[in-house]
Structure 1
Amino acid sequence: MLELEDAVESPPCCLSSQRCAQAPQFAVAENLCRVVSNEWVNDEYKHLIVEAPEVALRAQPGQFFHLACPPDQHGAALLRRPMSLYKVSPQEATIEFLYKVQGLGTRGLARLRAGDTLDALGPVGRGFAVPANAGHILLLARGVGLATLTPLADWARSQGVSVTAVLSARSEGLVMSADYLRQAGANVLIVTDDGGTSEVEHVEALIRRTHAAQRLDYVATCGSNRLLQLLQRLAGDLGIPGQIALEQHMGCALGACFACVRPFRKQADTQDLTYRRVCWEGPVFDLQETVSW
């Protein structure tokens, strides 16, 4: 493990409620991790488990690692690939990733076998910030976006916070981690395209019923522009704070190259724009300040 710094000071928080607050420091290291397993979950996704050094085990929900992907038969990816944390198990000294095999980098990751070494830079970025008084939170995810939100369920269980997880996918066969979320105590609701239940109107009605039964104090989403727009409108209407974890191509993942800059509203109640680095000011941002794509 090659330490980059003992502690990297993260930038001022982008959340409107904490705009001038100084974020906690977090360690960043180049972690050389031994692969425990790298198995197919379904026809598109794999689940990677690696043994990790102590620095990596400090990762918080919403943070990510910048992975050096091995080459496949077509060559090697020039840049590392950002990968959201799926699970961290300090007792087992492991971290886990859930990823879709679809490009040069992830095809290289898919070739890893037990005993191989994965170079994982991190943990990097700003994670989720659930209000201290939250008693019930909503996780709304589509596809692999679920991987980013799942650690919040483990956090909620440790804090005695109720979780409702709405999982959206093209079909039942592509729904992942439902059992894992249930084991973490979440109320899991599945909506699918082929079942005709993933339309915005149906999901909105589902969330409104959930809120009516037990007030939601915080919402989080990842992986879908359509669900972002829905949750922005719904959370604004119901007065619920929320955040989104964004996916973005990156260069350095340390805020230096500005390759992952995208526009954001300066504040939730304005259309005036500013620009922020997803790797450094995020990848988790205020729901209402995020501009849809």
Structure 2
Amino acid sequence: MTEVVSSPCATHTGADPASRCCGDFVAGIAEHACEVLQNTPVNAEYRHMIVAAPPGAANAQPGQFFHLACPPGASGSTFLRRPMSVYGADPRLGTVEFLYKVQGAGTQGLATLQPGDTLDALGPLGQGFAPPKDARHVLLVARGVGLATLSPLAAHAIARGASVTAVLSARSPALVMSAERLRAAGATVHIVTDADGNSDPVQLEALLDTLHAQKPFDFLSTCGSNRLLVLLQKLGKAWGVAGQTAIEQHMGCGIGSCYACVRPFREHAQSGRLTFRRVCWDGPVFDLQETTSW
């Protein structure tokens, strides 16, 4: 039986909320008025938005997110901001990118934005991915909107000299996203879909075991699927390889003050005791083995 223990948020209790540490990067949190440059459909469900952003925003790191003030949409207005993971950030161009699924009131409102409109974006927020500096082969396994979260990690790891293998999962080939973007960054891409019958955990485990045998992974990452999380936890233990996962969660303030996004995590990878952490402040990226399934 899992024991629940009370614990303050682990890694940054007492940290100045005006600044956050992400790997080697310290970013100031600010509210940015970003001009929309592009907001176009990618497929029947997702859209790709690019906004102009000042340096503090354009330096966002892989795994970080922005809290967006969404305009009214077809379903009406939203009271709270919506957290949105960074799909890309380029300080040289001064841009930040988002890949999002149009489904609720907030994202319906985002879909109405046109080039020249202003997006109110608070951030960058949260703890991003922190692969070891000596990582040589990074595995990315993602499904759905998780592809947006993991895509920047590929470019980051490759820039540091690592090889990247990305396994992209979707319901159908038409809903696979980011494949060409990842290939252009230098990643090796494998696509599995429900429609093709090769995305179930048994077949995916066999594929990953084969890839690991050919060229062992030394860092694992995932986002967007509970079953992918559980599978990578199993493989990570079997291979003795560490990793991280990015978690999606409803939020209130996005800066750790309201405790609306608290969820349970294992105290450490082998622990049967649970602690509670704020996804916005201690995450949204967490240790793979400390993360509980949902």
TM-score in terms of structure 2 length: 0.92
Structure 2: give runs of 5+ residues left out of the alignment. 1-15
Q: Distance between the aligned counterparts of 2:24 and 2:270, measured in 1?
A: 23
Q: 2:284 — aligned with what? A: 283
What amino acid maps onto 1:171 in structure 2? S
Matching of residues 92-103 of structure 1 within 5 Å: 92-103=93-104
- Indicate how the Cα distance of structure 1 residues 199 and 73 shifts in structure 2: closer, same or farther if over 3 A, else same: closer
What amino acid maps onto 1:277 in structure 2? R
Q: 1:126 — aligned with what? A: 127
Q: CA deviation at 1:24?
A: 5.8
Q: 1:172 — aligned with what? A: 173
What amino acid maps onto 1:8 in structure 2? A
SS of 1:270 mapped into structure 2? coil
SS of 1:288 mapped into structure 2? coil
- Indicate how the Cα distance of structure 1 residues 123 and 135 shifts in structure 2: closer, same or farther if over 3 A, else same: same
- Indicate how the Cα distance of structure 1 residues 264 and 23 shifts in structure 2: closer, same or farther if over 3 A, else same: farther
SS of 1:279 mapped into structure 2? helix
Q: Deviations over 1:228-273 (max 9, x none)?
A: 0000011011000000000000000000000000000001101100
Q: Distance between the aligned counterparts of 1:154 and 1:36, measured in 2?
A: 22
Q: CA deviation at 1:72?
A: 1.5
Q: 1:157 — aligned with what? A: 158
Asked whether the equivalents of residues 10 and 23 of structure 1 are also in contact (C-alpha less than 8 Å), the reply is no
Q: Deviations over 1:89-111 (max 9, x none)?
A: 12211100000000000000000
Matched, 1:189 2:196: no
TM-score in terms of structure 1 length: 0.92
- Indicate how the Cα distance of structure 1 residues 173 and 125 shifts in structure 2: closer, same or farther if over 3 A, else same: same
Matched, 1:244 2:245: yes
Q: 2:4 — aligned with what? A: none
Deviates more, 1:205-214 or 1:107-116: 205-214
Q: CA deviation at 1:7?
A: 7.6
Q: 2:84 — aligned with what? A: 83
Q: Distance between the aligned counterparts of 2:17 and 2:40, measured in 1?
A: 33
Q: Distance between the aligned counterparts of 1:10 and 1:58, measured in 2?
A: 13
Matching of residues 46-57 of structure 1 within 5 Å: 46-57=47-58
- Indicate how the Cα distance of structure 1 residues 112 and 77 shifts in structure 2: closer, same or farther if over 3 A, else same: same
- Which structure has more relative contact order (CA 8 Å, sep 6+)? It is 2
Equivalenced residues, count:
279
Q: Distance between the aligned counterparts of 2:44 and 2:19, measured in 1?
A: 40
Asked whether the equivalents of residues 61 and 127 of structure 1 are also in contact (C-alpha less than 8 Å), the reply is yes
Asked whether the equivalents of residues 30 and 122 of structure 2 are also in contact (C-alpha less than 8 Å), the reply is yes
Q: Distance between the aligned counterparts of 1:131 and 1:23, measured in 2?
A: 11
Asked whether the equivalents of residues 7 and 25 of structure 1 are also in contact (C-alpha less than 8 Å), the reply is no
Asked whether the equivalents of residues 17 and 255 of structure 2 are also in contact (C-alpha less than 8 Å), the reply is no
Q: 1:8 — aligned with what? A: 18
Q: 1:212 — aligned with what? A: 213
Matched, 1:107 2:108: yes
Q: CA deviation at 1:25?
A: 3.6
SS of 2:158 mapped into structure 1? helix
SS of 2:129 mapped into structure 1? coil
Q: Distance between the aligned counterparts of 1:227 and 1:34, measured in 2?
A: 36
Q: Distance between the aligned counterparts of 1:153 and 1:260, measured in 2?
A: 27
Q: Distance between the aligned counterparts of 1:190 and 1:122, measured in 2?
A: 32
What amino acid maps onto 2:89 in structure 1? V
Asked whether the equivalents of residues 43 and 174 of structure 2 are also in contact (C-alpha less than 8 Å), the reply is yes
SS of 1:280 mapped into structure 2? helix
Q: Distance between the aligned counterparts of 1:74 and 1:286, measured in 2?
A: 36
Q: 2:36 — aligned with what? A: 35
Q: Deviations over 1:133-156 (max 9, x none)?
A: 100000000111110000011112
